[in-house]
Structure 1
Amino acid sequence: MPVAGGYLRYVALGDSQTEGLGDGDDVHGLRGCADRFAELLVVDNPEVRYANLAVRGSLAGQVHAQQLAPALAMKPDLATVVAGVNDLLRPGFDADEVAGHLEAMFAALTEQGARVATVTFPDIARITPLARPLAPRITALNDRIRQAARRHGVAVAETGLHPVLTDPRLWSPDRLHASPLGHARIAAAVADAIRLPGSDDSWTHPLPATSHAPSRLRTVGAELCWVGSFLGPWLARRIRGRSSGDGREAKRPELLPAGPLAAGRLRGPTEAQ
């Protein structure tokens, strides 16, 4: 439960979305939904400390095996657990196995007294038509996440239910990671899920309509560009048995004051910066 004046120790567990890919870069630094959520926590309690254990490319089992113990050692009063998309993309995906890892983390963190939040996943087939075969997997995993969350009192940000979360403007060019605006929406959704003071459901509101839809030719061209720029390299890593997270460590492995994250850049919860 939160301490007086808000949560004090926030730990984020997960993969590339939690690490912040799509919001910044590896040269100047990544921001992402967890950083943005920490900034919202600072508004409620300037003393909050924040750690981010996420590593890109991690499967749910790897998040469980490598991040849970360090997270528990920090004794968080608030934690986010978001994983499963990398599993969805693997040929041997097993929704029960993935959900089992998530539930084990939910159980361990809540039993220690942490407030835990997670998310459901939007249908990426509406963002990337070539991913249409993954739709049943997403539905199956989301259903299991909801069930596990109910059993352990975990707050669920239902980013899988609202159409705005499949608006292409909320996604980076690789279509797997949120854009800065998308990361801001996810952070606002989690804040709303835990009823953080000042939060609301504005993250569910649609973006302003665009002036016109892209032509069929432009759409086909964009698909071919995406295949060459992102899908091809991803498949090449899979064939070599490599991961984008190989050799990488968490960007923020210790609890540190979250205040500096927010300095000079706090705006409304759904604004991109």
Structure 2
Amino acid sequence: MSGFQIGKDIISYVALGDSFTEGLDDPHPDGGNLPQGRYRGWADRFAEHLAGHVGELRYANLAVRGKLLRQIFTEQLPRAVELRPDLVTLCAGGNDILRPGSDPDTLAEAFEAGVDRLRGAGADVVVFTGFDTGFQPVMKHLRGKVATYNMHLRAIADRHGCSVVDLWSMKVLQDRRAWSADRLHLSSEGHRRLALRVCEVLGVPVEGDWSEPWPQVPPLPWREARQEDLQWARQHLVPWIHRRLTGRSSGDGIRPKRPDLEPLG
């Protein structure tokens, strides 16, 4: 397990990853005063919780939407090593898994090399498994590949003394209210619950229960549900496929929202 301690006067924390860690689709409450497209997300929310228990938190978020594992490790990881943080959260490989022909065994080898560099720089590392996609009809076929990758990630975490946030076991996130309209990114409530889960893993005291059951609501009528499916396909699935076919990424031209270790606030 990680040796991370929250008792220090000053803690430095760097978040690495893709859209999941950048914070899509959790609009920042101060969005009117921030660059267009700025999101909050679980990492910002976790940093806010952590800041309440240390003298000073210095936080950088290098995550950028659409990034593949190799891009995270070539564009973000060297900067993280340079910053020499106390704590790094690392979620990488999800965009690779979505692509046909990707091999979870090969991805795991690259992932472990990245973890080894971060641990060698003195950082405590938190690793995230992938979600259980069995409840999502469009991505249900990826379930076996995600499960294989997850087993690798757990083994890597064991070998390198990392903490693990097991997204696969968070059944509370298998409710549609945990997801935004694109069905690929967490909603604001999903991000809030995940931040609480990260706090639990790292022993950061918080109020609130990430596993609290959702309020009961009746299921959508069949016709309304199919209309939502069609709208989702037009607004989100088709543009995503078009980007894949044209070799473009949602992260093209996007810079990290917090490139430097700075006090939170």
TM norm. shorter chain > 0.5: yes
| Aligned residues with identical type, % of pairs | 41
Match of 1:85 among 85, 90, 94: 94
Distance 1:153 1:199, change over 3 A: farther
CA deviations 1:63-100 (Å, max 9, x no partner) are 11111110011110001001121111101211012222
Scaled by the length of structure 1, the TM-score of the pair is 0.88
Q: Which one of 89, 114, 121 corresponds to residue 105 of structure 1?
A: 114
Structure 1 residue 201: Cα displacement: 8.7
- Kindly tell me: are residues 140 and 86 of structure 1, through their superposed partners in 2, closer, same or farther at Cα, counting changes over 3 Å? same
Correspondence for 2:12 among 9, 12, 17: 9
Residues 12-67 of structure 1, C-alpha deviations (whole Å, 9 max, x = no match): 00001111110017636210111111101101114110000111100111111111
**Correspondence 1:193 to 2:201:** yes
- Structure 1 moving runs of 4+ over 4 Å: none
> Does 1:224 pair with 2:253?
no
Question: 1:3 & 1:136 partners in 2: Cα distance?
Answer: 36
CA distance in structure 1 between the aligned counterparts of 2:9 and 2:208, rounded to whole angstroms = 20
Stretch moving more, 237-246 or 99-108: 99-108
User: C-alpha displacement at 1:187, in angstroms?
Assistant: 1.3
What's the CA shift for 1:200?
A: 8.1
Does 2:192 correspond to 1:184?
yes
State the Cα distance separating 1:10 from its structure 2 match. 0.1
Distance of 1:141 and 1:28 partners within structure 2: 31
Partner SS state of residue 239, structure 1: helix
Displacement, 1:2?
A: 3.6
Query: How many matched pairs?
Result: 256
Per the TM alignment, residue 7 of structure 1 is displaced from its structure 2 partner at its CA by: 5.8
Partner of 1:265: none
Whole-angstrom CA distance in 2 between matches of 1:85 and 1:200: 30
State the alpha-carbon separation in 1 of the partners of residues 228 and 133 from structure 2. Answer: 16
Where does residue 257 of structure 2 map in the other structure? 251
Residues in 1 aligned to 2:254 and 2:11: alpha-carbon distance in whole angstroms: 27
In the alignment, what sits opposite 1:238? 244
- Which of 129, 132, 141 in structure 1 is aligned with 2:140? 132
Task: Please name the residue that 2:161 is paired with.
Answer: 153
Taking the aligned partners of 2:117 and 2:207, their CA distance within structure 1 comes to 29
Give the corresponding residue for 1:75: 84
Matched to 1:98, the amino acid is L
Query: Measured at CA, do residues 84 and 200 of structure 1 come closer, stay the same or move farther in structure 2, by a change above 3 Å?
Result: farther
Contact 1:52 1:253 in 2 (8 A): yes
Q: Any unmatched runs of 5+ in structure 2?
A: 29-34
**CA positional deviation for 1:199:** 4.3
Letter in 1 for 2:72: V
User: Which stretch of the first structure deviates more once superposed, 160-169 or 17-26?
Assistant: 17-26
1:32 aligns with 2:32: no
Give 1:3 shift: 6.7
Q: Among 213, 222, 236, which residue is 1:206 paired with?
A: 213
Distance in 1 between residues matched to 2:259 and 2:150, nearest whole Å: 28
Work out the CA distance in 2 between the residues paired with 1:125 and 1:231.
18
SS in 1 for 2:56: coil
* CA apart distance, 1:105: 2.1
Q: Does 1:170 align with 2:173?
A: no
